[in-house]
Amino acid sequence: DAKTTQPPSMDCAEGRAANLPCNHSTISGNEYVYWYRQIHSQGPQYIIHGLKNNETNEMASLIITEDRKSSTLILPHATLRDTAVYYCIVRGPSSNTGKLIFGQGTTLQVKP
Amino acid sequence: KAGVTQTPRYLIKTRGQQVTLSCSPISGHRSVSWYQQTPGQGLQFLFEYFSETQRNKGNFPGRFSGRQFSNSRSEMNVSTLELGDSALYLCASSSTLQGQGIGYNSPLHFGNGTRLTVT
C-alpha cells in the first residue's frame, strides 16, 4: 500500500470549514484513498473514500488532485464533535488482507 | 440503518480466564473482521469471516479464535488470557470479502469496540 503523510495536528474554528491534507505520492492507479476518524475510546468511523474523482457525502467532501498524489478532506462546517484523530489511508488490490495501517493521523481540534 | 454493535462495552478478566466478545454487523453485511488496538501496536488484524468461514487470519496465537453464524453475527474468543491481551477489540463489517485482492473499494465500518482489561 502507498504510504501516506499527514500533518500531526490542526486547529479549526467552530462553524468554519476544516481542510485536512494528505500526501500519497506513491499511490498506484487502482488504489483508493480512504478517510477515517477516531474519537477517543470509540472505534474508527468511516468518512469517505474515492479513486480519482471528487466525492461528497453527508459528512464530508474528498478532493483528490489530478495526479492523485495528494488529497484533502473537507468538513464544511466543523463542530466541536468533529474533534478527533483523522486518518488517511490507501487501499488497493494488493492490500494485505483486512490490514489497515492508520499511521499517526491528524489530530483536529475544533475550537469554539 | 443500525451500525456495527459490539457487546459488552467493557470487560475485566483475570489472567488464565477466557472471554467471548460479540459483534453484530450492519444489516446485509456478510464480512466481519476483528482487530486489536493498543497504544503501542496500533490496529492489528486478527481475522475475517465471510459466509460463516474464516477467510483470512492475522499473526495471533491460537488462543484467539472466532466464528460467524448464519445471520452474520460473529463472536471472538480468547482463551488463557494474558496481561498483554488488554486492549480495545474492534469488529468491522463490510458488504464484501475484504481480502484476496477484492473488497478494497468497499469500506469497513467499525463498532465502538470492547475494552478488555486483564488483571
User: What is the predicted pLDDT for the residue at A40?
Assistant: 85
Distance of CA A18 to the CA centre of its chain: 11
Q: Is A53 exposed, middle or buried (0-12, 13-18, 19+ CB in 10 A)?
A: exposed
pLDDT value at A97 more than 60: no
Q: Are A74 and B75 in contact (CB under 8 A)?
A: no
| Cβ-defined contact of B45 to A51 (cutoff 8 Å) | no
Q: Which of A45, A49, A98 sits opposite B33 (nearest CB)?
A: A98
Query: What does the pLDDT read at residue B2?
Result: 82
| Nearest CB to B107 within list A34, A93, A97 | A34
Q: Residue A42: which of B55, B98, B112 has the nearest Cβ?
A: B112
B22: pLDDT strictly greater than 70: yes
Question: How high is the mean pLDDT of chain B?
Answer: 92
Mutate to test the interface with A, among B43, B59, B88 (most CBs of A within 10 A): B43
Binding-site residues on chain A for chain B (CB distance < 8 A): 31-32, 34, 41-46, 49, 51, 91-102
Interface contact flag, B110 A46, Cβ < 8 Å: yes
Average pLDDT over residues A59-79: 96
User: Are A94 and B101 in contact (CB < 8 Å)?
Assistant: yes
Please state, in angstroms and rounded to a whole number, the distance separating the CA atoms of residues B111 and A102: 16
Q: How far is CA B54 from the centre of its chain?
A: 12
- pLDDT for the residue numbered B40: 81
pLDDT of residue A96: 61
Predicted confidence (pLDDT) at residue A47 exceeds the cutoff of 90? yes
What pLDDT score was predicted for residue B19?
A: 98
